[in-house]
Amino acid sequence: MQVFYKNTRFIYASHHFICTSQIFVLPLPRFFHPLHKYYMKRSLLILLAIFLSVSTFANLKMPSATINGNLSDYTYLYVTPTGGITSSSGVYGNAYGVFGGSTKTIVPSDAISGYLMKHGFNVVTSVIPEKANKTLIVSYGYTGRRFIYHKSYASGIIIQMRDAATQELVASFEAEGCGADESDNIQLAINSALALFRYNAKPKVTIHIDNVYRRNVILSIRNLTPKTIQSITLKLTYYDEGRTVYEQTKVIISAIQSGYVLNGVRIKRDKPAQNSNYAVKAEIIDYN
């Protein structure tokens, strides 16, 4: 049986009671102590708050892409113009006007063009009829808001890319953004959507010229696709002092597994050069 001395003060520390007037400790299971129940409730509330905070970010939808064609077949991008979107934060007003806060404006077409230019894509100001089959028309759409937690909301956007010659839908990208205001939301959503475009538009097969001889060109080919490539069609262009001498098309039939490099590919020249100083440009036309 546990005995408590009269007029003795106790301090709760961990799962023991420590007497301040006499040197002894009375062990007591903390499950039965009211202070323990209080701390348990507080801990559960803290864990619940953390869970809700984390779930706020988890509710943001993942970007998605729908690819109907080969994006690497296109060289030019034309972005259709859009109007501006203005958002305000911290603004208050009275009978004499609006005071405080800040306003920001974003033009989605400019944001898309800037992102594409920054990452090396060829953005044109108009569609050239002779190059329409190599041009994608980029269109922007706003899909609306979606409240995710308390006062936070996400803005959804969709970016479509159509063949300028046929108007067929080549690719579509959707994403959401959640920032400080509507302008931030749209900018973040555009960045997320175009990041998917960058991944799908980059060449999946790369080529490197190792050596150039009078009669042969030695190449290395790397397969970055998630599948095994069975054949590759190359075009080699030979230059002499900046002038095109001739072009050569070559089909290489060799299985290259995903992530592997085919080294020492020897291409015999159709026309042996007088010397090996000719500049050579190698391009991949097609692969399957």
- What digits encode the pLDDT tens for the residues 186-198? 999 999 999 889 8
Provide DSSP, 189-200. Answer: HHHHHHHHHHHH
> In this predicted structure, what is the pLDDT of residue 49?
66
**Assigned token pair, 60:** 């943001």
- Across the strands, what pairs with 122? 76
Does residue 194 contact residue 159 with C-beta atoms inside 8 Å? yes
> In this predicted structure, what is the pLDDT of residue 21?
41
**Assigned token pair, 253:** 């039939």
> In this predicted structure, what is the pLDDT of residue 288?
78
> In this predicted structure, what is the pLDDT of residue 114?
93
Those residues with Cβ within 8 angstroms of residue 180's Cβ, 6 or more apart along the chain or in another chain: 89
Which parts of the chain register pLDDT below 50? 1-32, 56-57
Q: pLDDT tens digits, residue range 224-246?
A: 776 788 888 888 888 887 788 88
> In this predicted structure, what is the pLDDT of residue 228?
80
> In this predicted structure, what is the pLDDT of residue 28?
47
Phi first, then psi: give them for residue 47, nearest 5 degrees.
-65, -40
> In this predicted structure, what is the pLDDT of residue 39?
61
